Amino acid sequence: MILIGIVIALLALLTYSIADGLSKYPSRIIGHNRTAVIVLATGTLATLSMFTIPQLVGTMTPIVIALSVAAGFLEGAWYLWVFKSLETEQVGNTMALVDVPYAIIVLFGILILIEPITNIEVIGIIGIFAGVALVMSRDHFKINRKLIPALAGNIMLGFFYVAFIYAVTLSGGIAIPATIAKLVAFVIVLADTLLFYKPRKHTGIDKPLKLRSLPFLSAVLVGIFDAAGAIGVAAYSLLGIVVLGGAIVAIEPAIVMLFGFEFYRERFTPFQLFGFILIIACAVLLNTV
């Protein structure tokens, strides 16, 4: 069972990495709003496949619905803000911040649930945010302001996991909370797109969306791979390797960095590379305590 769980965790790592690495392309071409709508619409449909596995379904109660709705709002914010940074910034730097939620979850436990803190957790939290500062740095250690939406989105993602984990625990399954959260997130990004989307000729995001275009199809693939990663996390969690699986998935930013280096010809400063290493190492560390 452990070996099967490890294989599933590696597959979740692969699918998440492909989703995050590929997401820059449509965000840059058709804009973060429309990309988020397509990704979430596809992800919602893919998430429905969980209902074919009885062990993943669970039960629906008012508190499960409330927590799932809250999670959906936070997930919608993640897609809008992170994809906003992807319009202009490197995918490696932007997606390096996806390990920030590990620190947020620990901080939530310490500050809200009054859980005792260990020296390892202190090191992990400080290390992640120090790494974030390095990854977001530019010449002369100036902060790249265009990465601030991505940082804010990943802070929201940390709270998403808190609400979502509670919803899954109370439901006894992942299918219902995941579907509700995806639907709410989809409504959020769709409303944002309808109300605030403005074509910007200076960025090239001013063309009508064609359903057979590469940007549209790539956004669909992002949604499919992202949902596949979530299903993989649910599967290895059911097999009882939450800690090991989480540590494996935590190295995702390294894969995405290599993806950006190879496919987008992105380049990183020595300080940014050290920041990558620091974030990933500390995220893995937090997943072992």
Query: For the chain, how long is the longest CA-to-CA vector?
Result: 55
Q: What confidence tens digit (pLDDT) does each residue in 138-164 have?
A: 766 788 889 999 999 999 989 998 898
Q: Where are the alpha helices (DSSP H) in the chain?
A: 2-22, 24-30, 32-47, 54-57, 62-86, 91-95, 100-111, 119-135, 148-171, 175-196, 214-238, 242-249, 252-263, 270-286
Report d(CA 146, CA 214) in Å as an integer: 25
The tally of domains found in the chain comes to 1
Q: Which residue did the predictor score with more confidence, 273 or 111?
A: 273
pLDDT band at 202 (very low <50, low <70, confident <90, very high): very low
Tokens matching residue 237 = 């969690």
Report d(CA 198, CA 89) in Å as an integer: 19
Closest CA relative to residue 236, chosen from 73, 21, 11:
11
150 to each of 52, 82, 210, how far by Cα in Å? Answer: 34, 4, 27
The pLDDT mean for the chain works out to: 84
pTM for the complete prediction?
0.85
pLDDT band at 57 (very low <50, low <70, confident <90, very high): confident
Tokens matching residue 197 = 């989307």
Q: What confidence tens digit (pLDDT) does each residue in 122-135 have?
A: 888 889 889 888 88
Burial (0-12, 13-18, 19+ Cβ within 10 Å), 93: buried
* Mean pLDDT of all residues in 174-197: 88
* 156-183 CB burial, b ≥16 within 10 A, e <16: bbbbbbbbbbbbbeebebbbbbbbbbbb
pLDDT band at 263 (very low <50, low <70, confident <90, very high): confident
* Mean pLDDT of all residues in 35-50: 88
Residue 259: per-residue pLDDT: 84
Domain carrying residue 282: 2-286
In eight-state DSSP terms, residue 208 is P
- 170 neighbors 68 (Cβ within 8 angstroms): no
